[in-house]
């Protein structure tokens, strides 16, 4: 279905995305999003930052959603509940605005490692694209790292390329 293509055939370079070490704060990551994407009007799909450790190993990815989630006041976050009918909690979000100055600014000083999506799954460059598709679907990933010999980070597979290749197989007469 994917025409025998491998991850290396569709992966994109890692320097397409900004890099940060895990100790950068959320507020520094926000500035990087603004400088790298918003002010340059470059909107890659997905819009993300790659988070590395001090030895340049990939630790995770940080999306705009991760950042906003990291700034969200605690009371807006879903908590474990008894099995009762769900209430409409979106009205609570109106209070966020009033608390933004206090809570969210404090949260913005936390390191990005606390809010990133950890990189747990990856493919080898020679792995079939179907494996990438499987991992991305079943683990709800927007980017999948490509590691050479389980160590060297050489590229990223995105959903758009996976979709394109697999859908080509479907549409082929």
Choice between 22 and 121, CB closer to other proteins: 22
Cβ 63 to other proteins, closest distance in Å?
16
Choice between 50 and 136, CB closer to other proteins: 50
Cβ 83 to other proteins, closest distance in Å?
46
Cβ 59 to other proteins, closest distance in Å?
10
Choice between 23 and 75, CB closer to other proteins: 23
Choice between 49 and 123, CB closer to other proteins: 49
Query: Would you say 69 and 115 are in contact if contact means Cβ atoms under 8 Å apart?
Result: yes
Query: Using CB atoms within 10 A of its CB, is residue 138 exposed (0-12), middle (13-18) or buried (19+)?
Result: exposed
For every residue of 108-172, DSSP letters joined together read: TTSBGGGTSEE----B-TTSBHHHHHHHHHHTT-SEEEEEETTTEEEEEEEHHHHHHHHHHHHH-
Chain residues in the site for other proteins (CB under 8 A) = 15, 18-21, 24, 28, 31-32, 35-36, 40, 42, 52-56
């Amino acid at each position: 279905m994917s025409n025998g293509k491998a991850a290396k055939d569709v992966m994109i370079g890692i320097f397409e995305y900004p890099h940060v070490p895990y100790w950068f704060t959320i507020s520094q990551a926000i500035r990087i999003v603004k400088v790298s994407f918003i002010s340059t009007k470059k909107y890659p799909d997905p819009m993300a930052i790659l988070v590395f450790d001090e030895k340049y190993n990939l630790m995770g990815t940080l999306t705009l959603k991760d950042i906003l989630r990291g700034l969200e006041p605690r009371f807006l976050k879903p908590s474990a509940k008894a099995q009762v009918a769900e209430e409409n909690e979106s009205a609570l979000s109106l209070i966020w605005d009033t608390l933004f100055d206090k809570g969210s600014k404090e949260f913005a000083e936390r390191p990005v490692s606390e809010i990133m999506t950890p990189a747990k799954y990856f493919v080898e460059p020679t792995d079939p694209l179907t494996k990438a598709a499987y991992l991305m679907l079943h683990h709800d990933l927007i980017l999948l790292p490509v590691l050479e010999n389980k160590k060297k980070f050489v590229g990223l597979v995105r959903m758009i390329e996976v979709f394109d290749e697999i859908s080509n197989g479907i549409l082929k007469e």
